[in-house]
Structure 1
């Protein structure tokens, strides 16, 4: 497999993932971003904890979808994330839904 073939494959996988995201985003209430992953979820419990003077975040998600091009099963019932980095949780505003024109144009 050439480098170009690999790049085309990765581009196709990213495009498929984006299309899946676009199809499922309306099913979820929250967007959760960690340093390693991007999630959609319907329930989020974020707890700041400390141990030995270090602060970390314990995040529990229920009814979630994981943005990961290499996962075959992106829908998960429960996810628990422990991270020492920031966690961003946003409620999805239904008026902010991401839509693309049917003809693929960007309106230019």
Structure 2
């Protein structure tokens, strides 16, 4: 995935705005942190067909990202895998009335 592409930069900004620049992961813990990263719930390398889908993208802080992905290996953590399992392809989790309890 080319994270320096114009398409990705526009999509990243769109998602951050959509989530009001608030880390959605830390929000689950009752904490408020500024989101600066957009994480792929279904990893972009394994699921390239989902890489630009809004429902597959979530705004996170560095702390939130570390809870979803091992920054050394790039592997999803247990929390990252649970989030992926609970996310239904094509269904935007933001509009789902029932909150995710991970």
Question: Does TM, normalized by the shorter one, top 0.5?
Answer: no
TM-score, structure 1 length as denominator? 0.27
Return the structure number with greater helix share.
Answer: 2
TM-score for the superposition, normalised by structure 2 = 0.28
